[in-house]
Amino acid sequence: MNFNPNLFVKNQNESKDGFLADKVAGKQSLGEGVYARVREVLVKKGNHEKTFALKDYKTKSNLENAKLLATNAFNHYLRAKESGLKVVPTLRISDDSTELLTTLLTNENISLIDSGSSKKWGNAPLIQDIDNIREITEQLVENAIKASDAEIVVSGDAYAFVIDNNKISHLNFFLFDFDLVESIEELGSYYDNILEGNLKNAHFAFKNFVYHCIPEENREEIKQKFDIDFNSLVSKINKDKYMINYSSAGRGLQPRP
């Protein structure tokens, strides 16, 4: 299936990703969620090509709701990026505001693991161990604090983890699903303390990765190391200041249909 190569183009001379696409070719399906279907696409320009995930909200909703959902997700991305959160390097919205184009960051050396579905994309094999547990724990906690400071709630299923063949046993992550990165106003009175919620969700995302992607014989040791570092970092935080006052919280993003 071919897609309109001008969908994500600023004008006829420049694309939003730095080049005007000759072709946007559909490849394999990457799955579907509640609000959209996602498939891998290859964007080509001359001898250059990039792989992206195309998220199409029209496949699961009417046009009006599709526009609302895609626009909200795109705004979530912008707000998260402006707030210093670890986000996917590129996310673009289509001219008709019903689709999102996201960097997939997969090749023969790199694999991406979605926290929500635990699905693996890319050719890098799963790792046996994690040698940068302290580093990634600090980053997860820092990400949760930054999100909370910006009144953003990051679901555990919004994370994606990255395995790089060139860095054996090294793990990285970024936020990937921006349907699940929302303001506290959008969520209503779901959390009493936004930081506790974000920390709990980050903790879940990492543990879910370990459960599905690390050999059983190594899981318990990794989880114990992670919990020691995580609890040590969290114990130093004053969480009381993150209690939510819903009468003053939020910035007026549109509610989900």
Which residues make beta-bridge pairs with 48? 45
Q: Which amino acid is at 237?
A: I
- Cα angle at 114 between 4 and 116, to 5 degrees? 110
In this prediction, residue 189 carries a pLDDT of 61
Cβ contact 59:39 at 8 Å: no
The tally of CA atoms less than 13 A away on the side-chain side of residue 13 is 0
Q: Sketch out the chain's domains with CATH numbers.
A: 2-103 (3.30.200), 110-242 (no CATH)
- Of residues 55, 62, 48, the one with CA closest to residue 26: 55
- Of residues 69, 66, 70, 22, the one with CA closest to residue 46: 22
Q: Which two tokens stand for residue 29?
A: 């399906």
Cβ contact 125:165 at 8 Å: yes
Q: Which two tokens stand for residue 251?
A: 């910035």
Q: pLDDT 10s per residue in the chain (257 long)?
A: 333 434 443 333 334 443 334 444 555 667 777 778 888 887 776 777 777 888 999 877 789 999 999 999 999 999 999 999 999 988 999 889 999 998 776 665 677 788 776 777 766 677 888 999 999 999 999 999 999 999 999 999 999 998 887 777 889 999 999 999 998 888 766 678 999 999 999 999 999 999 988 889 999 999 999 999 999 999 999 988 888 765 554 443 333 33
Residue 225's φ and ψ, nearest 5 degrees, are -60, -45
Residues 6+ apart with CB under 8 A from 99: 7, 54, 55, 56, 57, 58, 70, 93
